[in-house]
Amino acid sequence: MIQARRFSHATFETPDLERQIDYFTQVVGLQVAARENGHVHLATKVGDLVLQVKKSDAARCATLAFQVDPHLDVADIRKGLEAEGVRGELQSDAAPGVPKAVVFDDPKGTRIEVFAGQAPIAKNQPVAGIGPLKLGHLAFCVDDPKAFADFYCKVMGFRVSDWIQDWFVFLRCGADHHTINFVRGKRTMMHHVAFELKDWSQIQTAMDFLGSKSIPLAWGPGRHGPGHNIYTYHRNPDDQIIELFTELDKMLDESLGYFEPRPWHRDRPQVPKVWNEARDIWGQPPTPDYIRQRG
């Protein structure tokens, strides 16, 4: 087993490259850090790589990239994967700021890149649009969420944070309550990608900004139960769900549970559980536009 520590970036394929670049820079508020080898590399306003976008026939999330202990060697990463029966290949310059990575495919064919060292790829500078702090998490529709949760826990050291009944699992690899989610759906596809904002006031500003661009909300604002984050969702030009969130639970000490006292916690301490009751603290139910992603 290897131990993923941080969700670094994802690679999106799109049939309309310039349209996606315009959306992620002018609406989401990322900056173009580089263009090379058919990829456009997008960074946050603090300079961290969060997305790579490249042209293809269909829109999809093709790759996820995770960082492990910076002191590990790529040989150690390969050994950890091979111990779980996964064959990894060494790749040089997998992304800007990542000199070496070990790559393999997960059970649904998404390419996984694992690396130890990474450097910022852009300068800290003002951006257009909303301007998130980081890439927070990404969710996939799959036929069997438990099987994928088992794979990610066994091979990459993820831990289960919560379940919604038996159809939605929340997995973490660092302090954030969830980094990768799997939800049961009829098609295998990305369900949504989430960017973290600074606070509730930035969520309000983001909604005003989306309204000024005539981009409707698919769901929110509200506060989820699992993770307790404030959320809002909309769709990008490729019809993919984009979540903007803040105030996600942190696992500051895993032996103590979600040890970040807040008045909306129903349990004390908050520990992994299966949510069967109402799953939002407040907010309206999801719209049909949001729910259709699982179809």
Domain spans of the chain, in order of start:
6-115, 134-294
Q: What is the pLDDT of residue 118?
A: 86
Per CATH, the homologous superfamily of domain 6-115 is 2,3-Dihydroxybiphenyl 1,2-Dioxygenase, domain 1 (3.10.180.10)
Q: Decide if 5 contacts 77 (C-beta within 8 A).
A: no
Beta strands in 106-216 (DSSP E): 111-115, 134-142, 159-164, 168-172, 180-184, 189-196
User: From CA 164, how far away is CA 177, in angstroms rounded?
Assistant: 14
CATH architecture classification, 134-294: Roll (3.10)
- CA atoms of 23 and 242, how far apart (whole Å): 11
Q: How many residues does the structure list for the chain?
A: 295
Q: How many CB atoms lie within 10 A of CB 71?
A: 8
Per-residue pLDDT, 268: 66
Taking only the tens of pLDDT, the chain with its 295 residues reads 899 999 999 999 999 999 999 999 999 999 999 898 888 999 999 889 999 999 999 999 999 999 999 999 999 999 999 999 999 999 998 888 888 999 999 999 999 999 998 887 877 788 899 999 999 999 999 999 999 999 999 999 999 999 999 999 999 999 999 999 999 999 999 999 999 999 999 999 999 999 999 999 999 999 999 999 999 999 999 999 999 999 999 988 877 776 665 656 667 667 778 887 667 888 888 888 887 765 5
Per-residue pLDDT, 258: 67
Domain 6-115 matches domain 134-294 at the CATH topology level: yes
Pairing assessment for the beta strands 134-142 and 89-95 based on DSSP bridges: unpaired
Per-residue model confidence (pLDDT) at position 292: 75
Q: What is the pTM of this model?
A: 0.91
